[in-house]
């Protein structure tokens, strides 16, 4: 998975829906305006402090998606294509 292929906003929206949260409740929990939530869902990139708050609220490690992409790129650079 390339970092460019990670659409973090879509992943966040999926987890919000799975948690059964309304946009208003999610906004309250991450301390942003309700109107900001739809903006977050549309973002391909997000700053780390906000992603950390979102991860805490949803109890999900969104950073793991970026870590996996990093190790996949590293493996390809080293000539290996499979992750153990």
Domain that holds residue 10: 3-77
pTM listed for this prediction: 0.79
Chunk the chain into consecutive blocks of 10 residues (it has 84) and report each block's average pLDDT, rounded to whole numbers.
73 98 98 96 95 97 85 80 51
| Domain presence at residue 11 | yes
At residue 58, the pLDDT reads 98
State the DSSP H helix or E strand holding residue 56, giving kind and residue range, or none if neither: helix 48-58
Question: So what's the pLDDT on residue 1?
Answer: 42
Residues in the chain: 84
Res 75: pLDDT? 83
In this structure, what are the phi and psi dihedrals at residue 43, rounded to the nearest 5 degrees?
-80, 135
Identify the CATH number of the domain in which residue 62 sits.
1.10.260.40
Half-sphere exposure of 25 (CA within 13 A, CB side): 9
SS3 14: helix
Residue 83 within any structural domain of the chain: no
The confidence score (pLDDT) of residue 41 equals 98
For residue 84, being part of any structural domain is answered with no
């Amino acid at each position: 998975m390339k970092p460019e292929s990670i659409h973090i906003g879509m992943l966040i929206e999926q987890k919000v829906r799975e948690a059964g949260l309304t946009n208003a409740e999610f906004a309250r929990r991450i301390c942003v305006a309700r109107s900001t939530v739809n903006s977050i869902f549309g973002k391909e990139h997000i700053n780390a402090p906000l992603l950390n708050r979102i991860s805490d609220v949803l109890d999900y490690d969104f950073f793991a998606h970026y870590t996996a992409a990093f190790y996949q790129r590293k493996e390809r650079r080293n000539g290996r294509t499979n992750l153990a």
